Amino acid sequence: MGTLTTIAIGAALVWAAAYALGCWLWPFRACPRCGGTGKRVSPSGKAFGLCRRCKGTARRLRFGRRAWEYSRRARAGG
Ligand SMILES: [Zn+2]
């Protein structure tokens, strides 16, 4: 294994650790469907309903956090 490969693997591990920490600290991102407003505005702009994608919460779980919760549920056995 060359030095370059070792560095690449090390960098990947550091990135993964930083990403995991980021998903733990900031588990949500703004909903892309409604742009973080939680609203679905009517064409007239006068009426609005709740965004269906995020159910009006305006936030979506990040992929890393979702994977983490999924694995935690799988380990708990249900
Ligand atoms: Zn939304």
Q: What is the DSSP string of 42-67?
A: -TTSS-EEE-TTTTTS-EEE-HHHHH
**44 CB neighbour count, 10 Å cutoff:** 6
Domain encompassing residue 57: 3-76
Q: From first to last of its 78 residues, what are the pLDDT tens digits of the chain? A: 699 999 999 999 999 999 999 999 999 999 999 999 999 999 999 999 999 999 999 999 998 888 888 888 888 876
Ligand 1 mean position to 62 CA, how many Å?
Answer: 13
Q: Work out how many domains the chain is built from and give that number.
A: 1
29: amino acid identity, one letter: R
The pTM of the full predicted model, rounded to 2 decimals, is 0.64
Cα 50 to ligand 1 centroid, rounded to whole Å: 8
What spacing in Å lies between the alpha carbon of 57 and ligand 1's midpoint?
A: 7
